[in-house]
Amino acid sequence: MAEAVSGSPFTYTAEFTGATATDTGVEVRQHLEGDFPGGVVDLHYRFRMDGALIGRVVIEP
């Protein structure tokens, strides 16, 4: 399900496209479409866990 997002200089929709557990944390995928430069991007979030807390987050296309 796509979700409209506001509060930024651009208007876009964000859609969760999946998540995978790894040995070190979780990888989450999100699809964005909007009026930002390029108009479409698939983002990959990598959360590395430090016990029960998030120790590191990497966000990249």
Residue ranges covered by each domain of the chain: 2-60
- Indicate the CATH number for domain 2-60: 3.10.450.50
Q: Would you place residue 4 in the very low, low, confident or very high pLDDT band (cuts 50, 70, 90)?
A: confident
* pLDDT attached to residue 28: 97
Q: What is the pLDDT of residues 7-60, one digit of tens each?
A: 778 899 999 999 999 998 999 999 999 999 999 999 999 999 998 899 999 999
Predicted confidence at residue 31, as pLDDT, reads 97
Task: List CB contacts of 25: < 8 A, sequence separation 6 or more.
Answer: 46, 47, 48, 49, 54
Instruction: State how far the Cα of 54 lies from the Cα of 5, in Å rounded to an integer.
Output: 24
What pLDDT is recorded for position 16?
Answer: 96
